[in-house]
Amino acid sequence: MSEFALCLTHDVDRPYKNYQAVYEAIRERDLARLGALRPGDDPYWQFESLMDLEGELGVRSAFYFLSEPGLRDRSLRQWLRPRYWLEHCGRYDIDAPRMAHIIEALDTRGWEVGLHGSYDSYDDRERLRVEKEMIEGVVGHSVRGGRQHFLNRSSETWDHHRAIGLEYDSSLGSSTECGFDHGYEPLYPFDDDFTVFPLTIMEVALGGANGTLDEAAAWADCERLLDEAAANDAVMTVLWHPRYVGPDFPGYRDLYRRLIERALEMGAWVGPPGAYLDRGEPDHETPVSDASTSATD
């Protein structure tokens, strides 16, 4: 199964713009920024937009959904840390009607729905099991894989994933660097069917200071990595957070489209990791032993 492939994934961290809109309104002294809080005007809600874009190109992708615990489920130590307040402010319920409806729509129309393990779940097997079952309760069947929030990992994370019935993970990578640092093929840490898809590109790693995007430089990086993937029959995995195809992040939507179009022109297989696994049996020739904790987004 050594053939150039582009696996498309989306971590659903922030489907709603809430505290960010308030912050921008105060910072810029512009009450118009609060318009993002109106139902139907949220620039972070980009599911239909992504479905239209990918559907037009004839491809599918994977969406990984997050079930971050609320503050009432946190310890006192966690209550005192700003990180957990930010996670709480951005959290969402996957079984809320609007969210459940879009998850069901993705699933029934051929997109892959998977697990985005919450911030601390990388070292908590039972929490991962609960979160996986929550997603499965919405789609009505088992989910196959996903990625840990902030790419958090420990030496036990993949063992936890395999134990709860996941077939693959894509948490091995960086939010600041792009490339094939972990090789050109999926990895098999247990020398069985459990698969690790190293992350090649996270969209934020292509941006410049303050979240700006130098489109020419970003495309040069994407094209270089596509050429490297094609030359090495690589499996290239990319992460585009859904909000990054919206109006708050100029240039990223066009860059994502261009990346897919170019991969298709080059003859790559393009789709979600789960569908890639369905293409044939792995050869298990690429074990991996690096499972150290990484706390990047």
Which letter does DSSP use for residue 187 in this model?
A: B
Q: Answer for the pair 111, 61: CB distance below 8 angstroms, yes or no.
A: yes
Q: Tell me: the pLDDT tens digits for 210-264?
A: 668 999 999 999 999 999 999 999 999 999 999 999 999 999 999 999 999 999 9
Alpha-carbon gap, residue 149 to 118, rounded angstroms: 5
Which residue is listed with tokens 């989306």? 10
Extract the tokens encoding 152: 């958090």
Strand partners, 66: 116
Q: What are phi and psi of 109, to 5 degrees?
A: -95, 10
Would you state the structure tokens that stand for residue 124, as one six-digit string?
């908590």
Name the average pLDDT for the chain: 87
The per-residue pLDDT for 84 is 52
Give the number of residues written for the chain: 297
Amino acid at position 192, single letter: D
Separation of alpha carbons 15 and 245, rounded Å: 12
Q: Which residues make beta-bridge pairs with 235?
A: 5
- End-to-end Cα distance, the chain: 30
Q: How many CB atoms lie within 10 A of CB 253?
A: 18
Q: pLDDT tens digits for 64-74?
A: 999 986 545 65
Angle CA 36–38–43, to nearest 5:
35
CATH 3.40.50.170 fits 5-277, yes or no: no
- Domain spans of the chain, in order of start: 5-277
Q: According to the model, what pLDDT value does residue 22 have?
A: 45
CA distance 41 to 16: 10
What does the alpha-carbon distance between residue 168 and residue 57 come to, in Å, rounded to a whole number?
A: 26
Residue 236, classed as helix, strand or coil, is: strand
Confidence of residue 87 (pLDDT cuts 50, 70, 90): low
Residue 250 identity (one-letter amino acid): P
Phi, psi of 75 (to 5 degrees): -80, 165
pLDDT of 33: 46
Query: Cα separation of 90 and 31, whole Å?
Result: 21
At residue 14, what is the residue type? R
Distance CA 292, CA 75 (A): 25
High-pLDDT (> 70) share of the chain, %: 77
Confidence of residue 35 (pLDDT cuts 50, 70, 90): low
Using 50, 70 and 90 to split pLDDT, how confident is the model at 290? very low
Question: Measured between alpha carbons, how far is 215 from 206 in angstroms, rounded to an integer?
Answer: 9
The string of DSSP codes covering 26-60 is: HHHT-GGGGGGGSTT--TT--HHHHHHHHHHHT--
Q: Would the pTM of this model clear 0.85, i.e. be above it?
A: yes
What are the backbone angles phi and psi of residue 276, rounded to the nearest 5°? -60, -40
Model pLDDT, residue 21: 45
pLDDT for 93-151, tens place per residue? 999 999 999 999 999 999 999 999 999 999 999 999 999 999 999 999 999 999 999 99
The helix or strand, by DSSP H or E, that contains position 84, with its residue range, turns out to be: helix 82-90
